[in-house]
A and B are shown apart, each in its own frame.
Chain A
Amino acid sequence: MWTYERRLQFPVNIKEPNAQLAQVIISQFGGPDGELAASMRYLSQRFATPYKEVAGLLTDIGTEELAHLEMIGAIVHQLTRNLSMEEIGRSGFDKYYVDHTLGIWPQAAGGIPSNANQFQSKGDIITDLYEDMAAEQKARSTYDNILRLVHEPDVCAPIKFLRAREIVHFQRFGEALRMTTDRLDDKNFYAFNPGFDMCEDCGN
């Protein structure tokens, strides 16, 4: 269940449209390390998670990622509204425009559509948490790359906020991994799936 709040997690108020930046930033909407993949990754993984504290964390971070998806959508929307046909042609945005007009569609900067193969839900909490920590770092690197391309303060501010959140989520997933391994023992530290393989001594 979810409840919607009619506000962004961090304000997005962009004055000037810029189709070139929009084409780069859309990667965090539907790209391989974007917010849609992040949200679907955590919200899918939580069902097979054997520990309820970890499932709770996946739910809460997955929910925050939905708020980030909305922020990226708002950034791309504000960067592409009121564009002239000349700007659409000149900026190279014409290739996106021909299929989607000014609609927001989940794709990577290179035009590759969002795909569930961008994330994994392995049904093994150790495997999944390592993927989650890697995902947060990959998203942080992408935001760093975006910040090297973007200098407009009204675009940088929300991107910097999102970058900082990746670091916090990485820390929390690290703690969740620690909580998971604390439940294991010397016979199963990183050996097998604690939520699936049953054995008397495996610490379940």
Chain B
Amino acid sequence: MMACKEQMLNDIGTVSFCMVELMLYLDTHPNDRNAMEYFNHYAHIKDQLSREFSREFFPLTAKDSDCNKEWRWGMAPLPWEGVCG
């Protein structure tokens, strides 16, 4: 079953955060193979989730916009408006 938009965006945020943390850690620990495995693991999940999210809701990056009849990238919601906006 497809998760709701907020839940899925939250999951993408969580996975992306793991990637940022691991990236900064690996910048100063470039030989930690465990950390690299974690990074690859989360990068793979993020790719999958971002593609799925773009298909169901809106593109998170211009390359995910998959434009055909309309310019979906331009129509995507602005993140600073929040869900209460």
| Interface residue ranges, A against B (CB under 8 Å) | 3-15, 53, 56-57, 60-61, 64, 70, 73-74, 77-78, 81, 168-169, 172, 175-176, 179
Interface of A is mostly: helix
| Interface residue ranges, B against A (CB under 8 Å) | 9-10, 12-13, 16-17, 20-21, 23-25, 27-30, 58-63, 76-85
Q: Which residue of B17, B20, B60 has the most chain A CB atoms within 10 A of its CB atom?
A: B20
Instruction: Tell me which residues across on chain B come within 8 A of A74, comparing CB atoms.
Output: 79-80, 82
| Cβ contact within 8 Å between A81 and B76 | no
Task: Give 5 nearest A-B pairs by CB, closest first.
Answer: A74-B80, A175-B28, A13-B82, A57-B27, A8-B79
Q: Out of A81, A168, A172, name the residue touching B85 (CB < 8 Å).
A: A81
CB distance from B77 to the nearest CB of A (A): 8
Instruction: Tell me which residues across on chain B come within 8 A of A57, comparing CB atoms.
Output: 24, 27-28
Instruction: Tell me which residues across on chain A come within 8 A of B85, comparing CB atoms.
Output: 78, 81
| Cβ contact within 8 Å between B82 and A4 | no
| Cβ contact within 8 Å between B28 and A70 | no
Pick 17 A–B contacts, CB within 8 A, sort by A: A3-B62, A6-B59, A6-B78, A9-B16, A10-B17, A11-B9, A11-B10, A13-B83, A57-B28, A64-B24, A70-B80, A78-B82, A81-B85, A168-B21, A169-B24, A172-B27, A176-B27
Q: Contacts A3-B61, A6-B79, A53-B28 given; indicate if A78 touches B84 (C-beta within 8 A).
A: yes
Q: Out of A5, A12, A176, name the residue touching B80 (CB < 8 Å).
A: A12
Q: How far is the CA of A120 from the CA of B63 in the complex (A)?
A: 36
16 new A-B contacts, CB < 8 A, other than A8-B13, A9-B17, A60-B23, are A4-B61, A4-B62, A6-B58, A6-B76, A6-B78, A8-B79, A8-B80, A10-B13, A14-B82, A57-B27, A61-B24, A64-B20, A70-B80, A78-B80, A168-B24, A169-B24
| Cβ contact within 8 Å between B84 and A60 | no
Q: Contacts A4-B61, A6-B76 given; indicate if A53 touches B82 (C-beta within 8 A).
A: no
Q: Out of B23, B25, B61, B83, name the residue touching A5 (CB < 8 Å).
A: B61
Q: How far is the CA of A20 from the CA of B16 in the complex (A)?
A: 32
Q: How far is the CA of A182 from the CA of B51 in the complex (A)?
A: 43
Instruction: Tell me which residues across on chain B come within 8 A of A56, comparing CB atoms.
Output: 27
Q: How far is the CA of A172 from the CA of B29 in the complex (A)?
A: 10
Q: How far is the CA of A77 from the CA of B27 in the complex (A)?
A: 34
| Cβ contact within 8 Å between A7 and B84 | no
